[in-house]
Amino acid sequence: MTFRLLPEWAPQDAVMLTWPHQNTDWASILDDVEPVYVTLCQHISQLQSVLIVAHDEPLKLHITKLLLEADVDLSKIIFVVTPCNDTWARDHGPLTCANQQGELVIKDFVFNGWGNKFEAALDNAINRSLVKQTANPLNQYKALDFVLEGGGIEINEHGTLLTTSECLLNPNRNPEYDKQRIESLLKDELGAIDFLWVDHGYLAGDDTDSHIDTLVRFAPNNTLVYVQCEEQNDEHFAALSAMEKQLMSFKTSQGESYKLVPLPWPKAVYNKEGDRLPATYANYLIINRTVLVPVYGDKQDSLALSQVQKAYPEHTVIGINCLPIIHQFGSLHCITMQLPRGFLK
């Protein structure tokens, strides 16, 4: 009875958000960032539940007040009160697998702050609290002694797993595992059948060691959505051109080429310290019948939305201003994790 990681466009119960607070690196820009979280709650709650991880009870009350002021339907909001270091739900959140009977296994991998770059012990414990407080008791739960972040992998409806060698083969994650052993584990634990390893690709300001969700995404029907840089003077040009060439060489299990949908390249965005920020349109979130796409007040925003629409023709596509989010070096997909149908009580 094979359990397989579900593609993001599978039906969902909820989206998980871990809310930023004063004890995180977001503290100085909370006034800019919290409205983005509220906007996400407004959109998501119209289609499904929003599960919000709140650091403590005072923060839960604060969030509730913000959502009430924004006319969010609180019956669609589920709170899990548990301490957290940061807010990157994509990477500390659970990965959920299903079998053909619709039974679920919630997989809890280790989150080590992207190779021990940041303190993450509290974030690594969130899933246990989440499962205990909110998960359907019929679901299985399995904790694994293997470092893996949700932003580091993509899977499609055929069981093909997409990742980057820069991330999964990095010795700061699982130094005792080589490529063959990693593939074996991901076959066993996530039901992967085939693998596509992206060997090129880079995003300035990215702490994750080239997570795939900033570079290339799966869409249904053997489609790859990817960032394309045509600016030869841009520092990303060489790596992303090499990535594009590799994507053109990838074949499906039937030996066919993938349909490629390129996303435009926004102009460079910098913070006050002069650091380039990771503005990428690939970091979108798929929810029930809708795709929420990060936009940055850039002239390429409208083209990005139309390209995403080509990849997901049966979904509504909505742009979300994520300029405040990239000041902490991530974007929309990074701060969210979908919880598939059947996950919740």
Contact 335, 324 (CB under 8 A): no
CA 264 from chain center: how many Å?
A: 19
Strand 194-198 with 160-164, pairing: parallel
Instruction: Single out the residue of 288, 178, 283 nearest to residue 225, CA to CA.
Output: 283
Q: Can you tell me whether residue 44 is helix, strand or coil?
A: helix
pLDDT at position 257, please? 98
Please give the domain boundaries of the chain with CATH numbers for all domains.
Answer: 4-340 (3.75.10.10)
Q: CA–CA separation, 209 vs 116, rounded Å?
A: 12
pLDDT at position 1, please? 65
Please give the backbone phi and psi of residue 328, each rounded to the nearest 5 degrees, phi first.
-110, 20
Question: What is the block-wise mean pLDDT of the chain (345 residues), using blocks of 10 residues?
Answer: 94 98 96 98 98 98 98 98 98 98 97 97 98 98 98 98 97 97 98 97 93 98 97 95 98 96 96 96 98 98 98 98 97 98 97
Instruction: Single out the residue of 65, 31, 37, 32 nearest to residue 51, CA to CA.
Output: 37
Residues 6+ apart with CB under 8 A from 22: 30
pLDDT at position 156, please? 98
Q: Can you tell me whether residue 291 is helix, strand or coil?
A: strand
Question: Which residues face 154 on adjacent strands?
Answer: 162
- Give me the sheet containing 336-340, strands edge to edge: 77-81, 49-54, 12-18, 336-340
**Torsion angle, alpha carbons of 112, 117, 122, 125, to 10:** -10
Dihedral-angle region of residue 106 (phi above 0 means left; psi in -120 to 50 means alpha; beta otherwise): beta
Q: What angle do CA 15, 16, 17 make, to 5 degrees?
A: 120
Q: CA–CA separation, 138 vs 127, rounded Å?
A: 16
Contact 215, 167 (CB under 8 A): no
Write down the residue that tokens 């079998």 correspond to. 99
Contact 48, 287 (CB under 8 A): yes
pLDDT at position 258, please? 98
Q: How far is CA 318 from CA 44, 154, 267, 295, in A?
A: 11, 21, 20, 9
Strand 194-198 with 223-227, pairing: unpaired
